[in-house]
Amino acid sequence: MATVKLIQVKEDILADNSQAATSLRGDLRRKGVFLLNLMAAPGAGKTSLIRETAAQLSKDLRLAVMEADIDSTVDAEALIQSGVHAIQLHTGGLCHLDAAMVRQGLAELDLSAWDAVILENVGNLVCPAEFDTGAVKSVAILSVPEGDDKPLKYPLMFQTVDAVVVNKTDYLSLAAFDLIAFGDRVRRLNPMVPIFEVSCRTGDGLKPWMDWFQSAVREWIRG
């Protein structure tokens, strides 16, 4: 059975999160490390997208993962078994991560060994959108079975991200998901945001997502 390094993270309620996030990004810039904050509801496919991204870009990028959950080590174990370097963060019951908590997690990684770190945030579409984690970019994943109305219900999530991934497009023939309506709803909130339509199961649409991610990492590292 895979061995997972577990770090208990606690929220520093006295910290100014915005200032802490800015400071963290500055440290990441100086160290030449890119941090991606990946947010989605449970079951949307965060871990699957991370696994595919790590597998396809392993020759070009040194990639580590921080898995965040209220409890359990299931996702970190799955990534480790697939050959991805991953650690698990437990939030002590909190439904989000903030910059101070992310810094605690990063302290357990040798950042000199990595070009990029993906943070899989706690699974929901509400709390994670409210906290700047110190990430360079933030991405929201929505799966087809969840429905195309989620930008109407959770506007802050789609307003604040740098990219949106629609996952499980292989279910489009089975679900009443209108890609055009979804895109219109997202772009009313975030006009220039790229939207990637993918299936981690079949591999369809993954290349544009990989290209975007790799370009973002290289741009950040170049400064």
Tens-place pLDDT, residues 161-191: 999 999 999 999 999 999 999 999 999 999 9
165 exposed, middle or buried (CB, 10 Å; 0-12, 13-18, 19+)?
Answer: buried
**What pTM value is reported for the model?**
0.92
d(CA 68, CA 99): 13
| Structural domains in the chain, sorted by start | 6-222 (3.40.50.300)
Tokens of 191: 């006009």
Q: Kindly write down the DSSP assignment for every residue of 176-204, as one continuous string.
A: ---HHHHHHHHHHHSTT--EEE--TTT-T
Q: What are phi and psi of 119, to 5 degrees?
A: -100, 115
Mean pLDDT (10-residue bins), the chain, 223 residues? 69 70 96 98 96 95 93 88 93 87 94 97 93 97 98 97 98 96 98 98 97 98 89
